[in-house]
Structure 1
Amino acid sequence: VLKWYVIDGDRVVYECLNRADNPEPGAPPIDFPSYQIVDYAGDGKWSREEDIWIVGEMKDFARRYTDAERDFPQTLEDKLSRADWGPWVDWARPQPGHQARPSWYGKPDFVPFRSIRDIQFGIRSH
């Protein structure tokens, strides 16, 4: 969910809500705010992205989602449904019958993170 943005030359700075569908049917989405700084490289491509997360907000998000999922278990397809995002993101929803699969799904060398301690923070290279 985009809250605001500023464009200065080739740089865009914005605040958004990182949103997950709430596993509990009918409950509001679960989200946390973050800030992004992206630099446009031209030709429809971006050269740089910096994500700024407030760790306390992210931990609260993870706790709320974990609590809800414990009571209302989710399949991968449920998690990727974007059902709670509202009609303005209809473009992001899979078509009926589509099996949503992220690029990492089924790769033997990918290990999903289970807590914030599993995330490698810092500067990433290409």
Structure 2
Amino acid sequence: MTLSILGLILFTVTLSACAQLALKWGVGQARFDDAMHNGIVDIAISALMSPMIWVGLAIYGLSVVMWLWVLSKVDLSVAYPFVGVSFLVTLAFGAFILNEAVTPGRILGTVLIAAGCILVGKSA
């Protein structure tokens, strides 16, 4: 695997994590929280009216297009384990941007996933 392919894989996975962050912000709005108590129609309307949900979906769309290109260049068994890197990025987003509590167990589990990604990457 070339360095440019590896970089593209990591960028694509990071984009996916950014999409998660945008979606979390979108559902964190008071309007969306109120809709959660009123049923599926209100939830759908709130989602459609949330700019951050649209941003998250757009970022996901871009990451899917990039991921398709990655899959055309790299074996699935090599590329897919790098999706585990998104656990590192989302853990960091949760801790540093969303101020979520991060437990030692969550950190250890995330580090183990990252170690597995490194091992798979070295085998390619």
What's the TM-score once normalised by structure 2's chain length? Answer: 0.32
Q: 1 or 2, which has the higher helix percentage?
A: 2
Q: 1 or 2, which has the higher strand percentage?
A: 1
What's the TM-score once normalised by structure 1's chain length? Answer: 0.32
Flag the structure with more relative contact order, 1 or 2, with Cα contacts below 8 A and sequence separation at least 6.
2
